[in-house]
Amino acid sequence: MKAAGCFGVAWWRRKASKPDHMKANKNIHRTPTEAKGANGNIVVRIPLANGGGAIVSKEAFDKLKADGVSLSWTFNYNGQRTSGYVRTCCPAATGSLITLSRLITGAGRGEVVRYRDGNNRNLLESNLYLSSGRAKRCDAVLVSIAATMADEGLMEAAQ
Q: How far apart are CA 64 and CA 148, in angstroms?
A: 15
9 occurs within a structural domain: no
> Whole-model pTM?
0.67
49 occurs within a structural domain: yes
Q: What is the per-residue DSSP string for 8-39?
A: SS-TTTSPPPPPHHHHHHTT-----EEEE-TT
Which residues are CB-contacts of 55 (< 8 A; sequence separation ≥ 6)?
Answer: 37, 43, 44, 45, 46, 121, 122, 123, 124
Q: What is the pLDDT along the chain (159 residues), one digit of tens a residue?
A: 444 444 444 444 445 554 454 444 444 567 899 998 888 889 999 999 888 899 999 999 998 888 778 888 988 887 776 778 898 887 655 567 888 998 899 888 888 889 999 999 999 999 999 988 776 666 655 566 555 555 565 544 444
12 occurs within a structural domain: no
15 occurs within a structural domain: no
13 occurs within a structural domain: no
127 occurs within a structural domain: yes
> Considering its fold, how many domains does the chain have in total?
1
57 occurs within a structural domain: yes
Domain that holds residue 123: 20-158
